[in-house]
Amino acid sequence: MLYTQCNRVGMIRKDRYRVENNGLFLLLLLKIFPLTFQLTVLSFRVLEIYISRKQMKNA
């Protein structure tokens, strides 16, 4: 009886911990996402410039 109660408390604690971890993960994603977005946009711009320069050289 006591063991099952302890086990249940452990499960609840584990769930709460998981929820907190997910929250932290989401916060990290929200912080990282704009950076990665900016980086991808930047790389696309660099790629565009590179392609246009290559085309100008070929022309």
DSSP-derived secondary structure letter, 49: H
CA atoms within 13 A on the CB side of 5: 2
Could you tell me the residue ranges of all domains in the chain?
A: 2-57
Q: Is the pLDDT of residue 36 over 80?
A: yes
So what's the pLDDT on residue 51?
A: 92
So what's the pLDDT on residue 12?
A: 66
So what's the pLDDT on residue 6?
A: 63
Q: What is the mean pLDDT of residues 49-57?
A: 91
Average pLDDT of the chain is: 80
